[in-house]
Amino acid sequence: MNSDLSFCLFCDIAAGKIPCDQVHSDENFLAFRDISPQAPTHILVIPRQHIGGLTELNQDQAAMAGQLLVLASSIAAKEKLDAPGYRFVINCGQDGGQTVGHLHLHILGGRALGWPPG
């Protein structure tokens, strides 16, 4: 994670300051293709509101978290991933492999994904 607390990469992407390959945009959420795809389809879905990660989620954000899941599943369907299947991933903290400190959900699909994860 970037050590400059005033800087958040995904806030800057959400604000349009840093370009992205946008898949979906609305008042509350943005979805865009991962710059370093780990599968043929690799999309990140973020809330526009800055939330550092899963450990910062609270009851007030329960509706937003549900909307994030529903939106991500609709994007997966639009990307024609329903039939072959796909995976959602939210990495959390150092051991979870989180590298960007702004809550984001990965949509991964387009190939058979291994389990367990590394």
Residues involved in catalysis: 104
Residue 102 contact partner, candidates Zn ion, ligand 5GP, none, CB within 5 to 8 A by sort of partner: Zn ion
Nearer to ligand 5GP, 71 or 105 (CB): 105
Residues 76 to 105: which contact ligand 5GP by CB under 6 A?
Answer: 91, 97-100
- What token pair was written down for 115? 């389990």
Nearer to ligand 5GP, 55 or 99 (CB): 99
Q: Where are the beta strands (DSSP E) in the chain?
A: 22-25, 29-33, 41-47, 86-89, 105-109
